[in-house]
Amino acid sequence: MSEHEEHTSFIRTPQQLIVVVVLAFVVPVIAIVLLVQVIVNRPSADPAAMQPEAVAARIQPVGRVEFGAAGAASQGPRTGEAIVKQMCSACHQTGAAGAHKIGDKAAWGKVAKAGLEGMLKNAIQGKGAMPPRGGGADLSDLELARAIVTMANQSGANLKEPAAPGK
Ligand code: HEC
């Protein structure tokens, strides 16, 4: 019996069988992977890859500016202070791009004449160099109003912070 096997196959032990089965599977897979790599790495494989749009899309996340805060949506309305610190102070702290500087009573006095409604409307739509909602696209009207009240009150106004609905 065992002599007969010796003549028909070089696989004599279960270990050898396993090795052969594994190799029979792994070797073609490696060959395919290497082949695919050769094809994919050829620069001519995808001429669209070097299009300006494709290049811009690849490098874009590095240069993107995020005004929103992580996980902001789930926590209910944020306070004016938090929003101002996170989003508005980027421009309004320094007066960048002609933004009304926090603490500048003259500048805020002028816009505050329009009342919270007026300022809120301009802030929602965006004005001059300010993007809509001050760049905080996920801000609710209430949050935006709170941020405006916070900044205006730090600049000499005396506005009442709008309450959250249902409180
Ligand atoms: C990218 C810079 C920038 C950011 C960020 C920004 N602002 Fe402004 N904001 C401006 C500029 C510039 C103006 C002046 C616009 C003008 O009058 O031309 C302005 C004006 C305003 C005004 C006065 C609008 C009026 O009635 O004339 C309010 C209110 C205001 N911002 C609120 C906010 C709030 C609230 C935030 C944060 C959620 C914010 N801004 C974030 C740049 C910014």
Q: Are residues 108 and 58 in the same domain?
A: no
The residue length of the chain stands at: 167
Say whether pLDDT at 18 is over 90. Answer: yes
Based on the fold, state whether residues 140 and 96 are members of the same structural domain.
yes
Domain co-membership, 37 together with 94: no
**Confidence class for position 76, pLDDT limits 50, 70, 90:** confident
Q: Residue 102 falls within a domain, yes or no?
A: yes
Residue among 88, 89, 130, 144 to mutate when testing ligand 1 (max atoms within 8 A of CB): 130
The Å distance, Cα 127 to ligand 1 centre, comes to: 7
Indicate whether 70 belongs to any domain. no
Higher per-residue confidence, 43 vs 152: 152
Indicate the average pLDDT of the chain.
Answer: 84
> Domain for residue 159, yes or no?
no
Considering the domain architecture, whether residues 81 and 131 belong to the same structural domain is answered as yes
Residues 137 and 81 in one domain: yes
- What does the pLDDT average to over 99-109? 95
The CATH number assigned to the domain holding 140 equals 1.10.760.10
> What's the pLDDT score for residue 59?
74
What percent of the chain has pLDDT above 90?
A: 57
**Looking at the domain assignment, is residue 146 inside a domain?**
yes
Q: Which domain holds residue 34?
A: 2-63
66, 86, 100, 143: residue to mutate for ligand 1 pocket, most atoms within 8 A of CB: 100
Determine the Cα angle at 85 with ends 81 and 86, to 5°.
120
pLDDT at 44: 62
Q: What is the largest CA-CA distance in the chain?
A: 106
The domain tally of the chain equals 2
Domain shared by 14 and 46, yes or no:
yes
Question: Which of 1-10, 34-43, 57-66, 85-94 is the least confident region?
Answer: 1-10
The verdict on residue 160 lying in a domain is no
Same domain as 148, residue 81: yes
Mutate to test the pocket of ligand 1, among 91, 119, 121 (most ligand atoms within 8 A of CB): 91
For 110-136, the pLDDT digits (tens) are 999 999 999 999 999 999 999 999 999
14-23, 42-51, 94-103: range with lowest mean pLDDT: 42-51
CA of 55 relative to ligand 1 center, distance in Å: 33
Q: What is the dihedral of CA 59, 63, 64, 70, to 10 degrees?
A: 100
Put residue 11 in one of left, alpha, beta given phi > 0 → left and psi -120 to 50 → alpha.
beta
110 found inside a domain: yes
pLDDT, residue 4, reads 52
Residue 14 lies in a domain: yes
Model pTM score: 0.64
- Number of the ligand 1 atom closest to the C-alpha atom of 67: 5
Higher pLDDT pick, 40 / 105: 105
84 pLDDT band, cuts 50/70/90, is: very high
Q: Give the distance (Å) from ligand 1 centre to CA of residue 133.
A: 8
The answer to whether residue 120 is domain-embedded is: yes
Query: Do residues 36 and 82 both lie within one domain?
Result: no
**55 & 82 share domain:** no
Same domain, yes or no: 149 and 82: yes
